[in-house]
Amino acid sequence: MSKTRYSPTGLHVDSLLAHAGGGCDQATGAVVPPIPTATTFVRDEDYALVSSNHIYSRDDNALFRKTEHLLASLEEGADSRLFASGMAAVAAVARIVRPGGTILAQSGIYWGTTLFLRKHCARNNIALVEADAGDLEAFQDEMAVTKPDLVWLEVPSNPFLQVADVLSISAQCKQAGALLTVDATAATPLLLKPLSLGADLVLHSATKALNGHSDLLGGVVTTGDSSSEAWAFVCEERKNAGAVMGSFEAWLLLRGLRTLALRMERMTRNAQAVAEYLEKHPKVETVLYPGLASHPQHELAKQRMTGGFGYLMSVLFKGGKEEALKVAGALDVFQRATSLGGTESLVEHRFTIEGPESGIPENLLRLSVGIEHEQDLIADLEQALAGI
């Protein structure tokens, strides 16, 4: 998928993933690591740790480290930390900003993140400014006025699929001494590497494509500089606030990651075909997908999303809420459920879930495209659209 080779093994990303980062269980030689269930680890007679870094499982364990090491390699970053959910990762990063500080967040991102930032900032005397990152000049002007401590982007954004210019925004952040965080959940590290574009931190909901099987909640934050103050805070926050991933979830995530390259290849190809089909359909008003030439940031996405345009898209239907819900109700292969990034395709009427305050249009359906056969997905949409 990617041409990057990973040191010290020199493997391509597909091979690195297939081997779950490499190495075997030291004690037995097993090719699959055991699930560490112990919460605590003994000390010897002199009160020294029997195994270094093994004190208590809220701090760390061997499986977290193995999974984090693999995720940091994928991001071409320095270090990663797993969290109990994507939102736990969001919260840990947002808390870097102290009372009296300012966060500049992209508008129209995942509604859960927007809501968290609004409530968190209001309670903690942090100024929150929300701005459209689709217009780079306007966003950069806002940065110059706002002078934020932290800039928050989501690339591509959920559910509007905006592709913010991380490279240009990170250059301005560096000049102004602001921290830049990118939530790249809808891209995965295979399609977008925000750290190499100058971001300080990148985060993902591992619940989505990283795991890819809709059977765990998780989050991950990765840094390009493990000696930074921000990174020290994120690590301390994970340990002290305790939003740590369960060991079974870490094991499932590592297993899911083995097939990430394969899944992303198929999902991205399917999504492109579905987007092209829908765009030509007479009952469709607009398709929001960075892989379409009609997408406002298509040229930018081509430069930055080197591995493809991802599995997520939104479709706006001619008519309104009724038409969108009718299509959702008639789909058979696409499952009607929230979330994204699983092997199964999902459809969601975001307005019903998030309400009018979210600003999500009533005629919008979000599609997360899975690994099914492309013709089955298109046939399913065809029969559902015939009913409106």
Query: CB of residue 93 vs ligand PLP: minimum separation in angstroms?
Result: 11
Determine how many CB atoms are found less than 10 A away from the CB of residue 218: 26
Which span (4-12, 18-26, 84-92, 191-199) binds ligand PLP, by CB under 6 A?
84-92
**Footprint on residues 173-212 left by ligand PLP (CB under 6 A):** 183, 185, 205, 207
217 binds ligand PLP (CB under 6 A): yes
Which span (86-94, 124-132, 266-274, 361-369) binds ligand PLP, by CB under 6 A?
86-94
87 binds ligand PLP (CB under 6 A): yes
Query: CB of residue 129 vs ligand PLP: minimum separation in angstroms?
Result: 20
147 assigned to active site: no
Which span (58-66, 109-117, 170-178, 262-270) binds ligand PLP, by CB under 6 A?
109-117
User: Read out DSSP for 185-204?
Assistant: TTT-TTT--GGGGT-SEEEE
Q: What angle, rounded to 10 degrees, do the helices at 111-123 and 86-94 form?
A: 40
Query: CB of residue 20 vs ligand PLP: minimum separation in angstroms?
Result: 21
Specify whether the CB–CB gap between 372 and 344 falls below 8 A: yes
272 binds ligand PLP (CB under 6 A): no
- Round to whole Å and give the CA distance between 143 and 150: 10
**Binding mask of the shown chain, residues 136 to 155, with x at each position contacting ligand PLP by CB under 6 A:** ------------------x-
Query: CB of residue 138 vs ligand PLP: minimum separation in angstroms?
Result: 22
165 assigned to active site: no
Q: Give whichever of 16 and 207 is closer to ligand PLP, judged by the CB atom.
A: 207
Length of the chain: 388
Interface residue with ligand PLP among 146, 158, 170, 314 (CB under 6 A) is 158
User: Going along 92-238, which residue ranges are E strands?
Assistant: 102-106, 127-131, 150-154, 179-183, 201-205, 219-223
B/e letters for 144-178, b = 16+ CB within 10 Å, e = fewer, are eebebbbbbbbbbbbbbbbbbbbebbbebbeeeeb
SS3 147: coil
58 assigned to active site: yes
Q: Give whichever of 146 and 207 is closer to ligand PLP, judged by the CB atom.
A: 207
Interface residue with ligand PLP among 57, 73, 80, 113 (CB under 6 A) is 113
B/e letters for 229-246, b = 16+ CB within 10 Å, e = fewer, are ebbebbbebbeeeebbbb
Which span (108-116, 226-234, 261-269, 300-308) binds ligand PLP, by CB under 6 A?
108-116
5 assigned to active site: no
Query: CB of residue 318 vs ligand PLP: minimum separation in angstroms?
Result: 27
Q: Which of 81, 208, 238, 304 is catalytic?
A: 208
B/e letters for 70-102, b = 16+ CB within 10 Å, e = fewer, are bbbbbbebebbbbbbbbbbbbbbbbebbeeeeb
162 binds ligand PLP (CB under 6 A): no
Number of residues that bind ligand PLP (CB under 6 A): 15
Name residues whose C-beta falls within 8 Å of residue 326's C-beta, 6 or more positions apart in sequence: 384, 387, 388
DSSP bridge partners of 203: 183, 221
Specify whether the CB–CB gap between 156 and 162 falls below 8 A: yes
Query: CB of residue 151 vs ligand PLP: minimum separation in angstroms?
Result: 16
**Binding mask of the shown chain, residues 44 to 83, with x at each position contacting ligand PLP by CB under 6 A:** ----------------------------------------
Specify whether the CB–CB gap between 16 and 5 falls below 8 A: no
Q: Give whichever of 156 and 307 is closer to ligand PLP, judged by the CB atom.
A: 156
User: Going along the chain, which residue ranges are E strands?
Assistant: 5-6, 11-12, 79-83, 102-106, 127-131, 150-154, 179-183, 201-205, 219-223, 284-288, 312-317, 335-336, 346-348, 364-368
Interface residue with ligand PLP among 21, 33, 86, 310 (CB under 6 A) is 86
Q: Give whichever of 185 and 223 is closer to ligand PLP, judged by the CB atom.
A: 185
Which span (72-80, 85-93, 192-200, 364-372) binds ligand PLP, by CB under 6 A?
85-93
What is the Cα gyration radius of the chain? 21
List residues near ligand PLP by CB under 6 A: 85-87, 90, 110, 112-113, 154, 158, 183, 185, 205, 207, 217, 219
Catalytic machinery residues = 58, 110, 183, 208
